[in-house]
Amino acid sequence: MDKQILIDIVNVKMPFGKYQGQYLSDLPVSYLEWFNRKGFPPGKLGMQLSTLLEIKSNGLSEILAQLKREYRK
């Protein structure tokens, strides 16, 4: 996996919806699961959200915490 994808996940903010303005990495799993059921948005944002769901669903949130400390702008 490209590390830049993970760095982007901790720096990009949700551009719309209920959690507009929140960092993608801070979105709750329930919201990501909702997208999984309804369909992720097309393009890069959809890929980022689906990647984030995989990370959080598999108990790998510590990776995100480390990236936040190192790379959050």
Name the nearest CA neighbour of 72 among 23, 16, 31, 38: 23
| Domain spans of the chain, in order of start | 3-71
The answer to whether residue 71 scores a pLDDT higher than 80 is yes
Q: Residue 1's pLDDT is what?
A: 63
45: which 2 tokens?
């944002």
Name the nearest CA neighbour of 24 among 46, 2, 42: 46
Q: Residue 26's pLDDT is what?
A: 97
pTM for this model (two decimals): 0.92
